[in-house]
Copies of this chain bind each other. A is one copy, B any other.
Amino acid sequence: MVTIRDVARYAGVSPATVSRVVNGLTGYSKTTQLRVEEAVLALNYEPDSLARGLKTKQSAVMGVLAPLVSDALASEIMGGVESAARSRGYSVMLGRTGLGSEHAAGYLRTLRTYRAAGVILISAAITADMRRALGSGIPLVSVAIRDGLRFPSLSIDDERAAYDGTRYLIGLGHRHIGLLAGDPRSVLVNTVRERGYLRAMAEAGLPAVLEQGNSLYDSAPPALGRLLRRDPLLTAVFALSDEMAAAVVNDLQRLGRRVPEDVSVLGFDNTRTARHVHPALSTIAQPLEKMGELAVERLLAGTDLRPRILPHRLVERGSTTQVPPG
């Protein structure tokens, strides 16, 4: 391994000087700069990140934690995180918190031993355990969820988004609209979105019908069954994740109902999966990739505790339409 000393020897200067030019500080002449740069190239020197981090008490890594690394929502946000981090010279460490944030605290601990510059938490609740593990050590910004005012967050206005989605369905003439809620463990997003739905229904004087899923595909069919049993006249289903919405579309077709002619389906998030189903999902779009990018910006910018609210957007595709006549 070629060290800073080797470069120094080759260039005929001291390690200190090499360090200065490598880090772009001041205090060297143009000619020595050239000599050092030449030496760096000639020897293919790359500064050891561990040594550097040890000395400076900071490393250019940030963590990104999600309940499930393989889910569409999280991985699209991660895409944004990854590219923004990289373009700023940071590397990102991946972690899975589990659906109930069980593993999060452990991750935070290891991140701290690497003196990570911060952590981005995707759509996961912040438990007491985590707060403890966080200590005063390491900044956190939470994405796609808003957890009080104790940590900076980046999300859409989930209440309003769900309200808007419901209004949209009402505007199409629907009167019997069922809500398929998400994982009860993610209380934060879910109760908030539920509130938006409930408010819109109440304002319109319509009865609310609500069942719990867990945000994933398999949870939707049984919940849909319960929904239909509670209100057989349902003409619209609002699912609080695209994956559940996809399952609803498919299961509805299995049951012999046409989408959207017989029943409209509205999703949430606008992940890749929204386009995979046929008819493609109308859905509430969150700017996922951009959220990831902004999250790293936010992390690096410092501690502005005010939650940042991003605009949501209703994207209409084929899965929703006017209420059927009769």
Contacts and interface: CB of A to CB of B under 8 A. Distances in A.
Interface of A: 46-51, 53-54, 59, 61, 64, 68-72, 75-76, 78-79, 82-83, 86, 91-96, 103, 109-110, 112-115, 217, 243, 246, 249-250, 253, 272-273, 275-278, 280, 289
A114 B272 contact: no
Query: Can you list the 3 inter-chain pairs with the closest CB atoms, starting with the nearest?
Result: A70-B79, A49-B113, A250-B278
B70 A96 contact: no
A75 B243 CA distance: 16
10 contacts: A46-B113, A49-B110, A50-B115, A70-B289, A75-B75, A79-B96, A82-B94, A91-B95, A92-B94, A250-B277
Contacts of A112: 46
B61 A69 contact: no
Contacts of A243: 276
Most buried by B among A68, A253, A273: A273
B69 A217 contact: no
Number of copies: 2
Contacts of A95: 82, 86, 91
Contact of A79 (B47, B69, B278): B69
A229 to B, nearest CB: 22
Contacts of A53: 50
Contacts of A246: 276
Contacts of A75: 69-71, 75
Contacts of A83: 96
A69 B84 CA distance: 13
A289 B70 CA distance: 10
Contacts of A253: 278
Nearest to A246: B276
B79 A68 contact: yes
Contact of A277 (B72, B78, B276): B276
B96 A94 contact: no
A40 to B, nearest CB: 13
Most buried by B among A48, A64, A70, A109: A70
A42 B15 CA distance: 40
A253 B112 CA distance: 52
A59 B75 CA distance: 26
A103 B82 CA distance: 12
Contact of A278 (B96, B115, B217, B249): B249
A272 B217 CA distance: 9
Contacts of A72: 70, 72, 272
A70 B78 contact: yes
A69 B59 contact: no
Contact of A51 (B54, B94, B103, B250): B54
A82 B59 CA distance: 21
Nearest to A249: B278
Contact of A114 (B50, B110, B275): B50
